[in-house]
Amino acid sequence: MIEASSLTVSIGHKLILSGVDFAARPGEVTAVVGPNGSGKSTLIKALSGDLPYGGSITLNGRELSSMRPAEAAALRAVLPQAASLSFPYTVREVVRLGILGGHSGTLPHQEQSLPERALARVDLAGFAGRYYQELSGGEQQRVQLARVLCQVWKPVLDGQPRYLLLDEPVSSLDIKHQLLVMRIARAFAEEGGGVVAVLHDLNLMAACADRAVVMKNGRAVAAGTPADVMRNGLLSDVFDCALKVGVVPQGATPFVLPQTAEE
Amino acid sequence: MLSARTILFRRLEAVPEGDRSARARLALLVLAAMLVVVASLSVATGASDASLTAVVKWWLGLVPEDTLSQRDRIVIQEIRLPRTALGILVGAALAVSGALMQGLFRNPLADPGIVGVSAGAGLGAIAVIVLGGTVLGPVVSLFGIYALPLAAFSGGLATTLLLYRVATRRGQTSIATMLLAGIALAALSGALSGILVYLADDRQLRDLTFWALGSLGGATWTKILAAGPVIALAFVATPLLARGLDALALGEASARHLGVPVQRLKAAAILSVAAATGASVAVSGGIGFIGIVVPHLLRLIIGPDHRFLLPASALLGASLLLLADSVSRTIVPPAELPIGIVTAVFGAPFFLWVLLRRRGILDL
């Protein structure tokens, strides 16, 4: 489990997160939602070990700040929002960096073909020989996802559940690949790993997440199942515009239409 | 029976698309062979007519002891061999420093020349040349012939450490601050060097001019013994840095997420660069463009994977510097052109060409 309690992060003199309690369990996709500037990305960065923090963050029970980079890398992989490369690496060379730490969990002879398998998984089979810089933004994002998947290919290793931390994983993807990425996240959770994903699309959250944490002004203002947080009052308050949650007739998945917003 | 050709092609077929490591291994072999050829030519070339075949036969004991004249033996052993050895050392050091620094700064234009390390090393050396008879007299009498290399190394290291202090805050090194601080430090070193040059007398000025443009001319076994171990230390560190530098291409945060101890990696890379640059500036002066052209060229051929880029840079840097030295020795006989002029004349246009061709993909 990834657990944060009374988490406080300041950048310069500005308090970005104040007293956030957060938990992401193995076997679940935990979505982080909230308006721009609410602290979602800062939360992911803190959970990734990128920022000094107050309070505590534990990864499978161990305090994050006491872990060496290699120890943390064996337990979690982080998908950045966007990554530009300074040198002309091929797609395969980028994906292969995921195996760097040697904790993919596959056997050595399988590791050879892991980049190809990961690329096929993100619908980029045949892209291995292309230059990363020549790809579109959405393709680059999926290459990065393939790299991240290689790092923690087996969701559970040596009895320890492992985690994917995804910062806006679908931000530059078309709808087919948005759904593909969310299916990959779901599969990772179903095999025993944990997923934390910052999402902007509330409907995607409602359809794919097991739990959601709602952020506003650097605090976690609500947490629960998607149905728990998809409430008119809560969403209207958090996003500062009047929204009405609906439910599709044939199912229980709640949705919200942007057209319902009132001026 | 399988011919070597069949085996080679089978292996190439098995290589997955986008995996350039087989090509890189082949390139390393070719570059190593090229260095052997170039080094042999370098030993055979010069104002004296001692030929390579005669020398090799004499070494192997195939011809009587007195085939080579006493003069030719001295030319080979005390002038050409140390010069070739120094060329290999310095060429490899310059190219590897460039590749390390570009990896560290995630910028294909970074070079010890750019962030002021060479300028700092140069200031140390110039101080010893100009003030050696007066203020720095005690230093020179204490260290003797080692005073110059030591001063250059100290200047390079001091610049690097200062740079690191300025650019590092709360354990995080900002690449942008480091580049900008490097430009400022290079300007400062340049200005202080300028003041020293103003103070220099005529004889010192000639020394300074030759040294500032770079030359392998004064190569001696003593110089190699002084600079060799320092440069070798930097080489020993590079295999340990290679994977970390590849990860660093994704950015510092992503490298750390992959398990790379980023701060330690950066410190080790900086020390290696300072050591290799300081030592080479001390023994050969300011030789430009090797550190920027060699890694560029290699990235086009074998890709940016540092496991192959770093050793390949060492091999190609050594070969190119020896070639440039052969040109500088033979183009205006019996005089000698400073090698820095040769590397700049060939290096600068080449570098511009690379920039124009690759600016799209490098996103400069």
Q: Of all helices (H) and strands (E), which one includes residue A228? A: helix A226-229
**DSSP 3-state of B298:** helix
The tokens for B238 are: 């590079």
Q: Is B243 on the interface with A (CB under 8 A)?
A: yes
**Mean pLDDT on A136-157:** 94
Closest alpha carbon within chain B to A46? B253
Beta-bridge mates of residue A59: A2, A62
Contact list, B254 vs chain A (CB under 8 Å): 78, 80, 83
Chains A–B, number of C-beta pairs less than 8 Å apart: 111
Query: What residue in A sits closest to B110 (Cα-Cα)?
Result: A86
**Among A58-67, A160-169, B116-125, where is mean pLDDT lowest?**
B116-125
Q: What is the dihedral of CA B273, B256, A93, B15, to 10 degrees?
A: 100
| Phi, psi (rounded to 5 degrees) for B279 | -65, -40
Q: Is the pLDDT of residue B3 over 60?
A: no
What is the nearest CA distance from B253 to chain A, expressed in angstroms? 7
**Weakest mean pLDDT among A114-118, A210-214, B64-68:** B64-68
Helices (H), chain B: 4-14, 21-44, 52-59, 70-74, 81-105, 117-131, 137-143, 147-167, 175-199, 202-213, 221-248, 252-257, 262-284, 290-302, 306-330, 339-362
**Residue B16: inside a domain:** no
Highest mean pLDDT, choosing among A178-192, B210-224, B326-340:
A178-192
Instruction: Chain A: give the shortest CA distance to residue B117, in Å.
Output: 22
Stated as kind and residue range, the H or E segment containing A24 is: strand A14-24
CA dist A53 and A189 (Å) reads 27
| Interacting residues of B191 by C-beta distance below 8 A, sequence separation 6+ | none
Query: In Å, how far is A200's CA from the nearest CA of chain B?
Result: 22
Burial class (CB in 10 A: 0-12, 13-18, 19+), B220: middle
Residue A163: beta bridge partners? A76, A194
**Is the pLDDT at B362 greater than 50, yes or no?**
no
Q: Which residue has the tokens 């994050």?
A: A64
Which residue range forms the structural domain that includes residue B352? 22-356
- Using an 8 Å CB-CB cutoff, list chain B residues near A50: 253, 256
Closest B-chain CA to A77: B257
The domains found in chain A, sorted by start residue, are: 2-229 (3.40.50.300), 230-263 (no CATH)
Angle B202-213/B117-131 helices, nearest 10 degrees? 160
Question: What is the helix (H) or strand (E) element at residue A220, kind and residue range?
Answer: strand A219-224
The tens digit of pLDDT for each residue in A38-51 reads 999 999 999 999 99
**Residue B305 with chain A: CB contacts under 8 Å:** 89, 93
Q: Residue A235's pLDDT band (boundaries 50, 70, 90)?
A: confident
* Residue B92 included in any domain: yes
* DSSP of A88-131: --BHHHHHHGGGTTS-S-S-HHHHTTHHHHHHHHTT-TT-TTSB
Closest approach of B105 to chain A, Cα-based (Å): 9
pLDDT at B63 over 90: no
Mean pLDDT score, B318-347: 86
Q: What is the mean pLDDT of chain B?
A: 82
Mutate to test the interface with B, among A50, A53, A86, A89 (most CBs of B within 10 A): A86
Per-residue buried b or exposed e for B12-51, using 16+ beta carbons within 10 Å of the residue's own CB: eeeeeebbbbeebeebbeebeebbeebbeebbbbbeeebe
State the pLDDT confidence band at A196, using cuts at 50, 70 and 90.
very high
- Put simply, whether B172 touches A (Cβ < 8 Å) is no
CB A36 within 8 A of CB A171: no
Q: How many domains does chain B have?
A: 1
Q: What would the mean pLDDT of A126-148 be, rounded to a whole number?
A: 93
- CATH number of the domain encompassing residue B146: 1.10.3470.10
Judge: A92–B19 Cβ closer than 8 Å, yes or no. yes
Residue B5 lies in a domain: no
pLDDT of residue B49: 63
Is the pLDDT higher at B67 or at B330? B330
Smallest CA–CA separation between A14 and chain B, in Å? 17
CB nearest to A128's CB, from B17, B107, B108 = B17
B97 domain residue, yes or no? yes
Averaged pLDDT of chain A:
90
Residue B7 forms part of a structural domain: no
The number of residues making up chain B comes to 364
Which of the pair, B57 or B274, is modelled with greater confidence? B274
Specify if B362 maps to a domain: no
Residue of chain B with shortest Cα separation from A130: B18
CB B110 within 8 A of CB B104: yes
Residues in chain A: 263
Does B11 map to a domain? no
Residue B14 located in a structural domain = no
How far are the Cα atoms of B93, B144, B215, B322, B345 from residue B342, in angstroms, in the given order? 18, 31, 10, 11, 5
Q: Is B361 on the interface with A (CB under 8 A)?
A: yes
